[in-house]
Amino acid sequence: MTVHIDIDAPLTERILKLKKERNAVILAHNYQLGEVQDIADFVGDSLELSQNAAKTKADVIVFCGVHFMAETASILNPDKTVLLPDQHAGCPMANMINARQLREEKKKFPKATTVCYINTTAEVKAESDICCTSANGVKVVESIPNNEIIFVPDQYLGHFISTKTRKTMHLWPGYCPTHARIRAEDITRLRSEYPNAKAVVHPECRPEVIAMADEVLSTGGIIRYARREDVKELIVGTELGIIHRLRKENPGKRFIPVTEQAVCPNMKLITLEKVLWSLEEMAPLVKVAESIRVKAKAAVDKMLAIV
Ligand code: 13P
Ligand code: SF4
């Protein structure tokens, strides 16, 4: 197909025109830059984005997020073109375990069922029995008949789930470097500054931070919680990018980030320019080898079937 581009037109106009010509859909995570969220067809958390990717009719998915998210879209859609506008947008936590390490862990606990957080590579998903996200971790673990679970790679999400279930959980020592910057002392200080505020945190936060929150929610859960009529001021313990959507959707309410330091540098690699270039060049592509994809899809499908 010949694509006609007016290089003097504003960036967003060029993206929207090209998106139409390519029959593309733009999916963006809640941590993306505001300007990227604003041109997306859908903005959400990892679960909502996977569900959206699973049912899209578009030929091309431009994934504005990090590598494992685009990979999950590709796992679910082997015949579609999946673009990640910056190929260096990875998730350091997802890279804290590889397939060989998981195979070793499974040898240590041969009777356990393996649950992987969606923040994992396709190879690790392929070695796992079922996948979960921050929105459904407790539900996924509770759905498993086995009482012994290996949980990878996020020790803090794993610990949070373990407080909600009676199952024995073997936790891999991974963590999110961005959420590790969120400190309990900051919440204590903000609670005294804003005595009427509620506090929500993401389950990737440390246990002592989780202990201080009114609610522990995925990013999509935080977005829904903020819409509640009784929530007027909200202390938010997660990556800073979510504040854009919270303020945009809830004018008149006050959103207070626990720390301005909780910025995921990988999420911020995606810019409007890179979205345009990826649509122009149909690159960088994310594609999973078929032998891995089929096994990884089984773990993702099992999750999607129970939520
Ligand atoms: P959510 O699925 O809650 O959006 O979290 C994704 C993530 O990477 C959190 O750091
Ligand atoms: Fe990975 Fe943390 Fe960034 Fe989420 S915020 S993508 S878990 S590094």
Pairwise CA distance, residues 51 & 42, whole Å:
11
pLDDT tens per residue, range 56-102: 999 999 999 999 999 999 999 999 999 999 999 999 999 999 999 99
Rounded Cα distance between 52 and 164, Å, is 28
Closest residue by CA, ligand 2 atom 1? 91
Report CA(146)–ligand 1 centroid distance (Å).
26
92 CB under 6 A from ligand 2?
yes
Span 167-184, pLDDT tens digits: 999 999 999 999 999 999
Out of 47, 52, 134, give the residue to mutate to test ligand 1, the one with the largest number of ligand atoms within 8 Å of its CB. Answer: 134
pLDDT digits (tens, 9 = 90+) for 234-262: 999 999 999 999 999 999 999 999 999 99
Q: Which of 93, 133, 236 gets mutated to test ligand 1 (max ligand atoms within 8 A of its CB)? A: 133
Under the banding of pLDDT at 50, 70 and 90, the label for residue 9 is confident
For 107, the token pair is: 């040898």
Convert the pLDDT of each residue in 112-132 to its tens digit: 999 999 999 999 999 999 999
Q: Given the CA of residue 202, which atom of ligand 1 is nearest to it? A: 3
The three-class DSSP label of residue 43 is strand
Q: Is the pLDDT assigned to residue 6 strictly greater than 80?
A: no
Non-local (6+) Cβ contacts of 153 within 8 A are 93, 94, 96, 97, 116, 117, 119, 120, 124, 172, 174
Q: Across all residues in the chain, what is the average pLDDT?
A: 96
Q: What is the pLDDT of residues 43-69, one digit of tens each?
A: 999 999 999 999 999 999 999 999 999
At which residue do the structure tokens 């903000």 appear?
A: 190
What pTM did the predictor assign?
0.96
Residue 8 pLDDT = 67
48 lines ligand 1 (CB under 6 A): no
What pLDDT was estimated at residue 150? 98
72 lines ligand 1 (CB under 6 A): no
What is the 133 CA–ligand 1 centroid distance (Å)? 8
DSSP string, 156-183: HHHHHHHTT--SEEEE--B--TTGGG--
